[in-house]
């Protein structure tokens, strides 16, 4: 039973990490709320995520982050900053939910799987936004921004409710983003 719980916590962590690749703060806000409600156990040292000060800070940061992506010049600046931050957020989110693993395994999985999932989604998202800017002069970026924050919410909520489905949804989101990115690179025949 302990192995299954560990496997589910890896699915949960990687799903939330992937969502961090789309938006940094929204997955943490939802994770903190779920932990506060007792739906998600947090690893030792990560209980602060469900505390009132953290939830207020994460809520504020989430609103500011989402709003900032609708400002034409600011969305590009945020992509530059968000890329390394998303990787760290993915690692932290994964480590926060790996409760049944020894610390060495927890942080190895968090770095490789969590950081890797966040990096892959973030890099693909940045390329999609660059493509949108090139093709629409930036007019399509609000549509991309909306899809990203809604996607981050959906992936996080699914990962919390159904950890293995969250893992699969994260993989599907990456596949979709890669496919969309690739469409613009091929010449039309």
Per-residue pLDDT of the chain (189 residues; tens, 9 = 90+): 577 787 788 889 999 999 999 999 999 999 999 999 999 999 999 999 999 999 999 999 999 999 988 887 787 788 788 889 999 999 999 999 998 888 899 999 999 989 999 998 998 888 888 888 888 887 888 898 999 999 999 999 999 998 888 777 767 767 776 776 665 544 444
Rounded to two decimals, what is the model's pTM? 0.85
Helix or strand or coil: residue 39? Answer: coil
Q: The dihedral of CA 155, 97, 60, 121: what is its sign? A: negative
Contact 69, 26 (CB under 8 A): no
Q: Which residues of 96-109 are buried (b: 16+ CB within 10 A; e: fewer)?
A: bbbbbbeeeebbeb
Alpha carbon distance 67, 53 (integer Å): 21
Angle at alpha carbon of residue 58, lines to 28 and 83, rounded to 5°: 60
């Amino acid at each position: 039973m302990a192995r299954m719980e560990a496997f589910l916590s890896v699915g949960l962590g990687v799903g939330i990490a992937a969502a961090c690749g789309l938006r940094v703060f929204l997955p943490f806000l939802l994770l903190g709320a779920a932990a506060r409600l007792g739906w998600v156990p947090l690893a030792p040292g990560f209980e602060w995520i469900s505390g009132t000060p953290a939830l207020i800070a994460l809520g504020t940061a989430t609103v500011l982050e989402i709003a900032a992506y609708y400002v034409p010049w600011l969305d590009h600046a945020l992509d530059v900053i968000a890329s390394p931050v998303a990787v760290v957020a993915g690692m932290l989110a994964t480590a926060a939910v790996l409760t049944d693993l020894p610390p060495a395994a927890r942080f190895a999985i968090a770095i490789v799987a969590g950081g890797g999932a966040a990096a892959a989604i973030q890099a693909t998202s940045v390329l999609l936004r660059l493509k949108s800017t090139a093709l629409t002069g930036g007019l399509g970026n609000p549509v991309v921004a909306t899809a990203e924050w809604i996607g981050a919410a959906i992936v996080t909520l699914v990962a919390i409710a159904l950890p293995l489905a969250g893992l699969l949804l994260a993989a599907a989101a990456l596949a979709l983003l890669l496919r969309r990115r690739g469409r613009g690179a091929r010449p039309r025949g």
